[in-house]
Amino acid sequence: MSAYRNHVLELYESHDSHIKTLGFATSFLNHLARISLNPKYSAYTAYLELPKRRKARKCVTSRIVTLEDIREMIRRINHEEITNEISSDRAIQYRAIFLMGAFTGQRIEATMSKLTVGEVRKALEVDKPCMSIPSDKDKIKMAHYVPLHPNIIGPLKILIEGRNDDELLFSYHSINMWIKHKKFPLSRCEHHFVLGDLRKFAEQHGDAICWNDSNRSYILTHGVSGV
């Protein structure tokens, strides 16, 4: 077994190949132990252990989304509305989804693209506006509440005015295609803005303002094992 192990380590340069090849041998020894009812075969797997390997240090994230990035995106929407590159109706939609995504951190495709006008209208009727997100509109199927920041109340009221309750709140595909086509750069990294960066901003800015971890995990339905 030691000779086989050394042969494999010399034959392949890839660590993944070492894992796969020695894993086959380990599985075969365990199989022999089961069919022969002889545990001695499994004992030989000790000679097939991989050598210790230094792990490469990885960055936590390659995407950094700042408050200035969000402000810049709102300015771009306003500019394109003024220059008639996008209609006023679309500009209202785009501003609302950017502000709501940044302030709530909800997943764009799994949650925000499925919200209806009626759900928002109901949330705005109470003294402290708060949305109830059902389990079928969450990626991990967790029903939860999302408080609505005062800064997004106005844009949401404009967005739902005169619309039917069963309409989808946002034209997700229209906004997504606009973002992909324009390729707006982020200020702190070599990436272009995508809608998923709104959630990324909520997570990162939450660290800056010391947002309570349990509260944030519940609202964003991320890392909820400790909630």
pLDDT of residue 226: 62
- The domain segmentation of the chain, as residue ranges, is 2-48, 68-226
pLDDT of residue 60: 63
76-130 pLDDT, tens per residue?
999 999 999 999 999 999 999 999 999 999 999 999 999 999 999 999 999 999 9
Count the neighbouring beta carbons within 10 Å of the beta carbon of residue 2.
9
Cα separation, 132 vs 120, in Å, equals: 9
Cα separation, 3 vs 220, in Å, equals: 52
pLDDT over 90 at 55, yes or no: no
**For the structural domain made of 68-226, what CATH number should be given?**
1.10.443
pLDDT of residue 51: 85
Count the neighbouring beta carbons within 10 Å of the beta carbon of residue 96.
23
Q: What is the dihedral of CA 143, 149, 150, 152, to 10 degrees?
A: -90
pLDDT over 70 at 217, yes or no: yes
Tokens of 136: 């079928």
pLDDT over 70 at 179, yes or no: yes
Q: Three-state DSSP class for 87?
A: coil
How far is residue 7 from each of residues 19, 24, 212, measured CA to CA in Å?
Answer: 13, 14, 53
